[in-house]
Amino acid sequence: MRPNQSPPPGIGIGMGTGMGNGTANRNKQRRRPDLTLPLPQRDPIVAVPLPLPPTTSSAPSTSHQQIQQLSFSDLDRINRIGSGAGGTVYKVIHRPTGRPFALKVIYGNHEDMVRSQICREIEILRGVNHPNVVKCHEFYEHNGEIQVLLEFLDGGSLEGTHISLEAHLSDVARQILSGMAYLHRRKIVHRDIKPSNLLIDSRKNVKIADFGVSRILAQTMDPCNSSVGTIAYMSPERINTDLNHGQYDGYAGDIWSLGVSILEFYLGRFPFAVGRQGDWASLMCAICMSQPPEAPPTASREFRNFIACCLQREPARRWTATQLLQHPFISRNSGGQREVNQNLHQLLPPPRPLSS
Q: Is 192 a catalytic residue?
A: yes
The DSSP secondary-structure symbol of 42 reads P
Q: How many other CB atoms are found less than 10 A from the CB of residue 122?
A: 18
Do 145 and 105 contact (CB within 8 A), yes or no?
A: yes
Contacts 24+ apart (CB under 8 A), 84-91: 86/213, 86/214, 86/217, 87/213, 89/150, 91/152
Residue by residue, DSSP assigns 277-295 as: TS-HHHHHIIIIISPPP--
Q: Looking at 76, 112, 154, 192, which residue is catalytic?
A: 192
- CA torsion 322→161→78→212, rounded to 10°? -30
Which of 212, 199, 207 lies closest to 130 in space, CA to CA? 207
206: β partners: 200
- Measure CA of the first residue to CA of the last residue in the chain; give whole Å: 101
∠ CA 126-207-61, rounded to 5°: 50
CA-atom Rg of the chain in angstroms: 31
Q: Is 207 marked as a binding-site residue?
A: no
Active site residues: 192
Annotated binding site for ATP: 104
Annotated binding site: 104
